[in-house]
Amino acid sequence: MNFDALGLSPNLVKAAKDRGYTRPTPIQIKAVPLVLDGQDVLAAAQTGTGKTAAFVLPILQRLAFVGGARRKQARTLVLTPTRELASQVHESVRIYGQYLDLRSAVVFGGVKPEPQIAAIEAGVDVLVATPGRLLDLAQQGVVDFSALEVLVLDEADRMLDMGFIHDMRRIIDMLPVNRQTLMFSATFSKEIRSLAASYLVDPVSVDAAPANSTTELVEQRAYAVDASRKGVLLVHLFRKEQWSQALVFCRTKHGANRLSKELINAGFSAAPIHGNKSQNARQRALEAFKSGDLQLLIATDIAARGLDIDQLPEVVNFDLPSVPQDYVHRIGRTGRAGATGRSHSLVTVDDEPLLRAIEGLIRQEIPLAKVPGFEPTDRPPSSDKAGPRERKDRKERSASSNDPISATHSRQPRRPRGPSSWKKSA
């Protein structure tokens, strides 16, 4: 099947082809017709499977079919948890809508609001926003939601994890009841499905992949190591395996800063990206990484959603995440759009319960190997490839090496659905 078969207009098909896409992904095949029909949709898909295009393309077709936004109005609202994801979604809106006469804007914190206010002033067909900044602007009367047609909650589970639920509810209470609501995410917890029951009307559920699964395009590796030698092991892996670039995840902002300095001292170009960094600093680091000028981008989980980097080969879990679901989102930064990738997890003795929790979530064993010269000394006996239940009971096989490495709210009422003619718009 190609994009023409989805009922999209020639202008949208052309824009998709310009970006190198000729065949829709499974989530696009399932979701696009439902969105075009005006259905509320609850969709789950792995990251990197074309989830953003699955709602952007049909929404743009709907918007191009009728009218245009008036002063301060927003016809579509896309809520995202992070600045990076907001920027990524807005860029997709811009690219896919390049042959349409539509206006869009993106708003998020960390930058001056005046340019964002100016962008909304003339009215926008698509407004992409993070909850905090949008709520501030809405309370100032900057944006008018009276003509809103579509609400998208992108990565709603992450918004809950980040404490945005109250802001989300306050924003949704400002919106017209007669709207189409879409919820797209990589995973859906019971809390998210409860939220969907409050705001979506007769939603159609779409699952392009099992919940909390990882793509087969990503080869997952884990290495046993002492906590004090994780940085040195990372340097060794980068050099020995001749990586070109790697996205590295740390658990804390302080840890990201510390590791970045350690890598710079070892001769690498590296930069941290986390919530304490200004938006301009984060954007500069991300752009340098995308252009290849930066070898290592050190991130906290705030960046696990929204980083869209073409052909990213390596993702490293320098610290395993405390929440197993975040592992799925982290390694979803590689193996995107049909490309292959590898994830590397550095596991200390204290991390083994976290590794077992991740294996239980994804229903898959991640073999735990030892790197010669980096065999851990502060862990109990374990097998290189023992399963999660066996690993702490089985004895470690002896290994030796003479090659040491130097340190270097209530349910909404029913409402009419959109016209089927959206599918046929030119």
Residues 327-353: tens digit of each pLDDT:
887 887 765 555 678 889 999 999 999
Q: Which amino acid is at 196?
A: A
- What number of other Cβ atoms are within 10 A of residue 252's Cβ? 12
Q: Which pLDDT score is estimated for 319?
A: 95
Domain 3-210 has CATH 3.40.50.300: yes
Inter-CA distances, 319 with 124, 279, 300, Å: 41, 24, 10
Nearest-angstrom CA–CA distance, 187 and 324? 11
Is the pLDDT at 295 greater than 90? The verdict is yes
Inter-CA distances, 173 with 74, 167, 281, 422, Å: 15, 10, 34, 27
Strands (E) in 5-116, as ranges, are: 41-44, 74-79, 104-107
Is there a common fold for 3-210 and 218-370?
A: yes
Closest CA to 32 of 21, 367, 370: 21
pTM above 0.95, yes or no: no
Pick the CATH number of 218-370 from 3.40.50.2000, 3.20.20.100, 3.40.50.620, 3.40.50.300: 3.40.50.300
**Stretch 108-122: mean pLDDT:** 92
Domain boundaries, the chain: 3-210, 218-370
Nearest-angstrom CA–CA distance, 221 and 393? 21
Higher per-residue confidence, 193 vs 378? 193
Is the pLDDT at 74 greater than 90? The verdict is yes
Cβ atoms 186, 332 nearer than 8 A:
yes
Is the pLDDT at 404 greater than 90? The verdict is no
Residues 6+ apart with CB under 8 A from 241: none
Tens-place pLDDT, residues 349-378: 999 999 999 998 888 899 899 999 999 987
Is the pLDDT at 416 greater than 90? The verdict is no
Cβ atoms 238, 413 nearer than 8 A:
no
Tens-place pLDDT, residues 145-187: 999 999 999 988 778 877 888 999 999 999 999 999 999 876 6
Q: What is the dihedral of CA 198, 203, 208, 213, to 10 degrees?
A: 20
Tokens 């302080």 -> residue: 254
